[in-house]
Chains A and B, each alone.
Chain A
Amino acid sequence: MNELIEELKITLIDILNLPDVTPNDFDENVQLVGGELGIDSIDVLEMVVMVEKDYGIIINSQEVGEKVFSSLAALAQYIKENQPDSSS
């Protein structure tokens, strides 16, 4: 799980172009969308594409999206629970 969180930190900093954030100061529990990071609806769509591309999980409802992208920890949890090859 921690490995996944660290991996996601690096991915999000890259795909969302967060220039002044490092993996070390990326708090996985902080509010992701609409929070201090300035992440908005276009970023959410970019993350939706990433989750499908990298983890094979499709998120196509706003309700699910809101839950999944509430924090980086929630995103990691969702990916872990829904990964096609996940044993949990």
Chain B
Amino acid sequence: MNTGRVYIAGAGLISPLGHGLAATEQALRTNRSAIRPLDLFSLLHGTPLPVGQVNTLDNADSPPRTHRLAGNAAIQAMTGSEQPPDAIVIGTTTGGILTTEQLLRDKVDNKDLYRQHGLGTVAEYLAEELNCDGPVLTVSTACSSGAVAITLAMAMLRRGSYTRILAGGVDSLCRLTYYGFHSLQLVDRNGCRPLDAERRGMAVAEGAGMLLLTTEKPVHPLAEVLGAGLSCDAYHPAAPHPEGRGALEAMQAALADAGLDPGDIDYINLHGTGTPENDLAESKAINNLFTDPPPLSSIKGATGHSLAAAGALEAVVATLAITKNLLPANTGLKQVDPALDLAPLTEPCDRSVSAVLSNSFGFGGNNGSLVIAQADTFPPPADRQPADNGLAIFGYSCLTGAGGTRATLDGLQEGKKPAGMADLDVIAENLPPRLIRRLKRLPQMALSLALSAHESSKIPRKPSSIFMGTGWGALSETYDFLTRLAETDEQFPSPTDFVCSVHNGPAGQVALLLGATEANITTSGGDYSFEQALLSADLLLKDRKETALVLGADETHAVFSPLLDPSIGPETRLADGGGGLHIGRDREGAACRVRIPFFRRLGAEDVISALIAALGGQERIQQKYILVLVGIPAAMHEQGEQQLKRFLDRETGNTPVVRYREFTGEFASASAVAAVMAASFFETGVIPGTLLKGDDMLLADQSKRILVLGLGQHISAMEFFRP
């Protein structure tokens, strides 16, 4: 029975401290730091900086290091479980970049070798290894990714659609993060000393933490994930809000979600990166929330900061605190900074613990806090999970080779195919030059889409949450960062390009512009990234009054895209763009609504039968859809066409089917444009005949729906209908 409790059935981790719960516990009990000078890759200049490097991983060439770290922790978490997980949710920022960096240095142009670059490939790899054919989601919210992944998994479990989900975070060391944080002058040359009066910064690290979460009570549950809270600073692309505003809001939201008061918390695992700004902001938030803070510490003086892994690693450490009565010390601390007004643990401490608050904050002001508690000790959470009844769409926007929303949609009506790449000044038409002076193509797209979607809305509400899907992230910034690094013999990496290269940079910019201080989530699952963003919005948008922006955008980069995206061949006309929806729960004033009845990975069993069943069965499908927009990425052409044939063979009606990539071109988030097309048809009441190669079709029947189907590696269904 689903009581709403989310149990931790298994946990695994690999970090600079070692791998496995026992080794980690032992290392934490000795209060030793694993931070050492880097030797994973060689440097052209200077002494290696101290990092948190994992030394207990095999040296295999393939798959990339991030994937192997994830696999190691996942196998630990799954030990003793005979069934594969129903779904996998992973937070990562690095994906296969370490491998890509080496390939680029060796000037390798065989694109097959870049297949595991994308962030989403880490979760795909785990799904493959663990035989999971359910949905696989990837979030990338910089240093809070691991905590956000666990938050999303928890929301999926509470809704009741899944019983067992593997969730966690992972990142490997790479040149991008090593030189990137160094260029921001955020690295302490003397190792990492969180909360210390002499602290000078962080130590970039790597690792993976995984939890097997379940709503079915295990025989021996390790602990429970009792609550989670997300927030966004909407203050600065890289620096935390100086008063810790977002940190406070995330902690408050997590406590409220768990149904606990600050006094119920026995231990706080701090984000505590060791940078002067983070630790000060976090201390202010803690002192704001707790009149008398419980014992607290940051373990990053021992492990370093493993970025996307950190939140998940520390969730596992919180689990250890509960199961082993172990409060880890604030390793590296000599003299606490009096300005922080905190008393961190200077030694590991044996104490019974019922509830732990664990903090993770990231670039873009993306914050996540988790409450991990002893199983069955506190009342189960009240049922606050919104039912799966769809999201109302108040406004929309898109960008294609034809230009903005009107140019794209009018062009479609006139029979033009908008596929292509719009000029940057067309994309930036509605954006003030000062705002975008540092921003390259993808963040400009995101801002343009966000503003247009908001302005087109029929309701005056300002979105407070931002969800963005991007298959490839900011390719220009990543390419420029690595190019300048190579051209200057690794001496002068660009801090601006590094800050802007993170996948969640664009969504963070949108939050800054709109003052959106609630959840801010970037998803990155290849050609299904937009669907994942929409799913996340549907899972996390609770308040009827609250509205959110769901964006999907990808930039196509002349060098990177043909190398990385398997759907782009030498003959492919380069195209990019995206779409944005302003959504909410309250359907008043909505143009139409959307739900996601199906999202699954291609598995062994007949996934098309499952799709048909989820859409209501053959007969119902014939009745309800007036149009099917199908997205088959070019790289999955054969497989996708077979899937479509199987779907149509059984769905024998005369519903017109349009392959939308013929119009949008090949790019990962093309489905966001298809979603906007569907929403616009409901607004105008007409489906243009140019799409159908026939006459215009009226959407007169109020009960008719439009299906946007994604085929290929994942099978996804988005259903648009009248409010």
Contacts and interface: CB of A to CB of B under 8 A. Distances in A.
Given A41-B239, A42-B496, A49 B437 contact: no
B83 interface: no
Nearest to A50: B492
B433 interface: yes
B492 A20 contact: no
B491 A45 contact: no
A83 B326 CA distance: 54
Nearest to B277: A41
B102 interface: no
A60 B495 contact: no
Contacts of B433: 19-20
A34 interface: no
A31 to B, nearest CB: 16
Interface string A9-33: 0000000111110000000000000
Contacts of A45: 183-185, 495-496
Contacts of A52: 492
Contact of A42 (B438, B492, B493): B438
A49 B434 contact: no
B494 A20 contact: no
B491 A53 contact: yes
Contacts of B492: 49, 52-53
Nearest to B438: A17
**Interface core residue of B488, B492, B496, B499 (most chain A CB under 10 Å):** B496
B611 interface: no
Nearest to A37: B434
B238 interface: yes
Nearest to A38: B434
B237 interface: yes
Contact of A46 (B238, B239, B434, B495): B495
Contact of B494 (A41, A46, A60): A46
A17 B437 contact: yes
Contacts of B493: 49
Interface in B488-532: 488, 491-496, 499
B488 A42 contact: no
A54 to B, nearest CB: 10
Nearest to B276: A62
A49 B185 contact: no
B496 A46 contact: yes
Contact of A19 (B239, B437, B494, B495): B437
B438 A49 contact: no
B318 to A, nearest CB: 32
Contacts of A19: 433-434, 437
A49 B239 contact: no
Contacts of B491: 53
Interface string A70-87: 000000000000000000
Interface in B357-406: none
Interface centre among A20, A38, A40, A49 (most CB of B within 10 A): A49
A20 B434 contact: yes
Interface in B426-442: 433-434, 437-438
Contacts of B184: 42, 45
Nearest to A40: B236
A42 B477 CA distance: 15
Interface string B112-156: 000000000000000000000000000000000000000000000
A29 B433 CA distance: 24
Which among B185, B237, B434, B491 has the greatest number of chain A C-beta atoms within 10 A?
B185
Contacts of A16: 437-438
B185 A42 contact: no
Given A49-B183, A53-B491, A18 B437 contact: yes
A49 B494 CA distance: 8
Given A49-B183, A60-B185, A42 B437 contact: no
A42 B238 contact: yes
A20 to B, nearest CB: 6
A60 B183 CA distance: 11
Interface of A: 16-20, 38, 40-43, 45-46, 48-49, 52-53, 60
Q: In the A-B complex, list the 6 residue pairs whose CB atoms are closest, starting with the nearest.
A: A45-B495, A17-B437, A19-B433, A53-B492, A49-B492, A46-B496
6 contacts: A19-B433, A42-B184, A42-B237, A43-B496, A49-B494, A53-B488
Given A42-B238, A46-B495, A48-B185, 9 more contacts: A17-B437, A42-B237, A45-B185, A46-B494, A46-B496, A49-B493, A49-B494, A53-B488, A53-B492
